[in-house]
């Protein structure tokens, strides 16, 4: 519980930093820190594979590409944020917050869930469900990634 509180506060603080920082690289680093803290949260919730993949894919690959693009373009000054988007975003966030509060107040929260089998969240159980129950979504997702790769290559060639 103490660990969860620390991680929760850290993730909220870093998420706020992502939005409030004026420097793009600072924002990106705060986002990377947020992703890392969320990965640790996954580790504490009996989901080690998801946690490690979170670091590997989001913090290690996607954020690096974002940083790469920022470094190549090197934006010195950021364009002013239009007030309309600011309000819309804040309204959407507030609506989501109220929705969560309503939903959580309806159901009593209990810390004791059903017992979790030992293999839960391990590589074997995730592989089992990926290749049996969720074989079709898994394959569809890989086709989607392939389409994205081919699309990227085509776009890059057209510009030449």
The correct pick among 17, 18, 29, 40 for binding another protein (CB under 8 A) is 29
- Give the count of residues interacting with another protein (CB under 8 A): 24
Determine the interface stretch with another protein among 6-14, 69-77, 102-110, 151-159 (rule: CB under 8 A).
Answer: 69-77
Q: Is 26 in the site for another protein (CB under 8 A)?
A: yes
The correct pick among 4, 68, 97, 120 for binding another protein (CB under 8 A) is 68
In SS3 terms, the chain reads as CHHHHHHHHHHHHHHHHHHHCCCHHHHHHHHHHHHHHHHHHHHHCCCHHHHHHHHHHHHHHHHHHHHHHHHHHCCCCCCCCCHHHHHHHHHHHHHHHHHHHHHHHHCCCCCCCCCCCCCCCCHHHHHHHHHCCCHHHHHHHHHHHHHHHHHHHHHHHHCC
CB of 92 to another protein, least distance (A): 31
The correct pick among 4, 8, 23, 104 for binding another protein (CB under 8 A) is 23
Q: For another protein, which is the closer residue by CB, 56 or 144?
A: 56
Q: Is 49 in the site for another protein (CB under 8 A)?
A: yes
């Amino acid at each position: 519980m103490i660990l969860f509180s620390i991680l929760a506060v850290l993730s909220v603080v870093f998420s706020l930093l992502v939005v409030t920082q004026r420097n793009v690289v600072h924002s990106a680093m705060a986002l990377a820190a947020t992703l890392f803290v969320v990965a640790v949260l996954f580790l504490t919730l009996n989901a080690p594979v998801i946690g490690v993949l979170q670091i590997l894919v989001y913090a290690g690959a996607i954020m690096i590409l974002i940083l790469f693009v920022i470094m190549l373009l090197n934006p010195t000054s950021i364009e002013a944020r239009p007030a309309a988007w600011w309000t819309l975003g804040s309204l959407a966030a507030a609506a989501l917050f109220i929705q969560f509060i309503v939903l959580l107040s309806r159901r009593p929260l209990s810390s004791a869930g059903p017992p979790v089998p030992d293999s839960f969240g391990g590589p074997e159980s995730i592989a089992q469900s990926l290749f049996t129950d969720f074989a079709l979504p898994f394959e569809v997702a890989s086709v989607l990634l392939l389409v994205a790769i081919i699309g990227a290559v085509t776009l890059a060639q057209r510009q030449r």
